[in-house]
Structure 1
């Protein structure tokens, strides 16, 4: 009881201090038109009856706190707890965890509705008032935390984020509430939450929530990846993003002819090239050390010859191949696993051959080349040719691997089992593989779209960029490609964030 009384008295005292600080700063803003925080008590005499209003508010708060302390029984507390978990939040309760976003027209001279572009309003009266009143709220909330008082007693404070290298107090989020009588104001859930929007066809999901959220993303300067099954979101919003200085990327799996290019293998190829260049630099440094060693020390120096590290590129290849070939419902995984190994091995073979020949061209590693390369396992060698080449494999692909690759090279490890398999087994693997990569080689438009990348994934975390994914929602043909793209994008962003 004594602890409750002490906490109540401290709360009353703190409430009076906060009221006084609020009155001082409001007077400073309204009378003197100054926005900086002030602690001058003489401000209370600038407007008549200010002190009386402060006393009345303090008494009301004291009565409210003391009555609440003495009237709540254990049963009432239990009932209140049940109510808190079962009742729908009121507007005021919901607004406590939301962020207020205010906006206005960027150019009021434009009269056409479709030409209007909205921008965030950082200089509104409410925004300025929030910044001033934020200072006394912070110690109040800290005291509540110290005395372990429920969080719902805390006051809302100004939240800050960093977007495009600049600190901001407004950002995009899921639109929750728009005041009826306050134009150009919306409350959003700006937390890093996962949300799901459920509604029947034509229930207004797009126009009531999705388009508003996309508009907020554009205003706040954040990046976005937008799943757009019908292509209508691109038609409605792409122009606004372009006018706001965004790089707009459209991956259209419904109509590849109208799509920007994205190569699923480009990420692995870029990573392979970087590993190769790093290895070449390490070799130069290693060779430069040769003159510093005596003949007796050279044996140790030779043992330290640097080896290339292609592990990350191989991981990207494995993820890609798994996404294309994995089937949880298959009874015998051998065929899918073998098809996966063929994709990894042939892609690695093309990369090894390209860097060996000094050809770093983008798009040189693609699924058409993988499909054609594996056909060389069907070209037979005669016994005389095998003897002349001193190889065991009875086909050209196997012979090339034996004569030009080491046993620990990626291509050798993943392809030799396929090359040395019985003819019937190899043909069965080839049929499964053709089925799996058919979505990437079925026509010239798809092969063109997936042969090179027209944008840099890393830029999504470095500059303003929006990516639209247009894919059939009525059939799952291209779902594996969307999965691959999102997985690669996630990995790239995480790697960039980790530096």
Structure 2
């Protein structure tokens, strides 16, 4: 309709322009015929020209003929521009236009979400600048920004302990301005998982993650955030504490500034409470995560797992009065030292230890765990021990030992009160992603047991924000976790660079199951064609028009024809998907897809809440806050040393 109006206006303009030109043209001819000079025409005002045409019969007839020609040309222009092979387009983003839908869904019924339905389809909150809590956050952030400019470390220690500004939070999709000062933020509030596709340097941290962290804190929900480089922790930790959220950092980048987390703590707690069945389950959980799935014969994998599992149980069970030895570093050194023979031809110290254990405590839980490797030949056992030490070698690092020798918090705490745990990982170094995946698995397992005791759901919802999930070590039974986690109040938001990352880690079928369990997808940018094609296919097809022109030329005649057909077309082709640029992102869910606007963090109120500013300001802010974090002393590794009793 808009194009027709434009064409009509253009046709009227052409008619009026030609009519004016013909008017003077006729007057010029009349001047020649009456013997006037050609220069005289430029001195004729328009009203004199009109008067001459109206009062001179011949001139009037000539003008009417010219007027008919002008009308014919204007109509020809309108009809020519109305050729049906020129489709009307609708704008998706400033860079993407697609043909308008047609027909009655004969070849596809996919469609974009009606903007008027956005408020009914998605959850949203409004940040009102006149809200006392919002004003407190703005004042506090402004003062932090001012202090950073002076080079000072300053954090407002006021804590809104029981202040819950919003009923719930979730993965942020985008925002709209409401009025002059307020922000309407759209997010996913349901118990569903999210898949975020963003290539390197696409800005997912500054357009999705930082906003989501802030919204979850204001709703007092717990979150576990993988944080490559530590930017998210540096930017948001003071804000989270103001919101009454407990904040912990597992810092593999600077371990001496990290909080402590003992990977054996859940086993220790189960043994301490006398729940040996649960303790054994936790032992196999951690062992399965460390060893991984077999790549060849299961014998080697199972044997290694048996050795690690039994030695974990020994170190925990035999040191209930010596908690300083209950850690994975001591498990490594227990295997390394006890697998030596006191003298050539003698049994290994571990064999002697197990024989003694069978006599003194036949029901010891470690005996059942080691049974798998016990039946293997001696030479094969040697490979089990070597593989076990290789798997546990990370824990020989004194800095990792310092991080994991004790525990500052327990997984149950994350589900009991608002808590944020940041897993800070070195940029470009994937070695510690194994430990990050292990932590996430342990927390899920412990929280699932906790939820079962509370009727199947946690008191506080947990949100995994796993940036660079494609670099994580494969998590065993992850499909089970993501399938049932939502019902327990545990949501996963996975951030990938491409679908290929997921398939490389989990295989094609498992990756497909994981994707299908993520109801909400946010597409920011992808560099590979396969990911773009999959996003395009997920959008589906709609019905539009297709036009064809044909012509034939013979000796004395020529023919041309045109036809209009209804065809199916992708809502966005793979090429069009690739042209999505910031601040726009594509959101697909159980509802119709929608293009949301999610600009850089600098355009959000969260930028002021966090005290952020320019790039240089943010660099200085990170440096000041990092330097202010307390640093532990490295006191050396404390070893159990039981092997000394068996040495000659």
Q: Who is 2:446 aligned against? A: 492
1:15-164 to structure 2, matched below 5 A, reads: 79=104, 85-103=109-127, 104=129, 105-107=134-136, 110=139, 113=142, 115=144
Q: Who is 1:376 aligned against? A: 338
How far residue 468 of structure 1 moved from its aligned partner, in angstroms, is 0.5
CA distance in 1, matches of 2:141, 2:439: 37
Q: Larger % of helix: which? A: 1
How far residue 351 of structure 1 moved from its aligned partner, in angstroms, is 3.2
How far residue 199 of structure 1 moved from its aligned partner, in angstroms, is 2.6
| Alignment partner of 1:325 out of 291, 315, 332 | 291
| Alignment partner of 2:169 out of 144, 153, 172 | 172
CA distance in 2, matches of 1:367, 1:320: 11
Q: Aligned in 2, Cα 1:312/1:89: closer, same or farther, shift over 3 Å? A: same
CA distance in 1, matches of 2:283, 2:311: 10
User: How does the TM-score come out when normalised to structure 2?
Assistant: 0.46
Q: Larger % of strand: which? A: 2
- 2:226 is the alignment partner of 1:227: yes
Asked if the contact 1:397/1:419 (under 8 Å) is kept, the reply is no
Asked if the contact 1:379/1:396 (under 8 Å) is kept, the reply is no
Q: Who is 1:463 aligned against? A: 417
CA distance in 2, matches of 1:240, 1:166: 13
Q: Who is 1:261 aligned against? A: 260
Asked if the contact 1:348/1:411 (under 8 Å) is kept, the reply is yes
- 2:355 is the alignment partner of 1:399: yes
Structure 2 residue runs of 5 or longer lacking an equivalent are 1-100, 146-160, 454-648
Report SS of the residue matched to 1:110.
helix
1:271-310 to structure 2, matched below 5 A, reads: 271-275=270-274, 309-310=275-276
Q: Aligned in 2, Cα 1:186/1:274: closer, same or farther, shift over 3 Å? A: same
Q: Aligned in 2, Cα 1:238/1:411: closer, same or farther, shift over 3 Å? A: same
Listed one character per residue, the Cα deviations across residues 364-403 of structure 1 (whole Å, up to 9, x for unaligned) are 32223223333324234899x99xxxxx999532332233
Asked if the contact 1:97/1:189 (under 8 Å) is kept, the reply is no
Q: Who is 1:311 aligned against? A: 277
Listed one character per residue, the Cα deviations across residues 275-327 of structure 1 (whole Å, up to 9, x for unaligned) are 1xxxxxxxxxxxxxxxxxxxxxxxxxxxxxxxxx5111100000111111124
CA distance in 2, matches of 1:258, 1:168: 31
Q: Aligned in 2, Cα 1:424/1:328: closer, same or farther, shift over 3 Å? A: closer
CA distance in 2, matches of 1:337, 1:202: 41
User: How does the TM-score come out when normalised to structure 1?
Assistant: 0.59
Higher RCO by CA contacts (8 Å cutoff, separation 6 or greater): 2
Asked if the contact 2:249/2:259 (under 8 Å) is kept, the reply is yes
- 2:472 is the alignment partner of 1:447: no
Asked if the contact 2:256/2:399 (under 8 Å) is kept, the reply is yes
CA RMSD of aligned residues (A): 3.4
Structure 1 residue runs of 5 or longer lacking an equivalent are 1-75, 117-163, 276-308, 387-391
Q: Aligned in 2, Cα 1:377/1:417: closer, same or farther, shift over 3 Å? A: farther
Asked if the contact 2:341/2:349 (under 8 Å) is kept, the reply is no
CA distance in 1, matches of 2:173, 2:443: 28
- 2:337 is the alignment partner of 1:340: no
CA distance in 2, matches of 1:394, 1:310: 23
Q: Aligned in 2, Cα 1:216/1:354: closer, same or farther, shift over 3 Å? A: same
Q: Aligned in 2, Cα 1:321/1:400: closer, same or farther, shift over 3 Å? A: same
CA distance in 2, matches of 1:191, 1:414: 41
CA distance in 2, matches of 1:109, 1:394: 62
How far residue 451 of structure 1 moved from its aligned partner, in angstroms, is 1.7
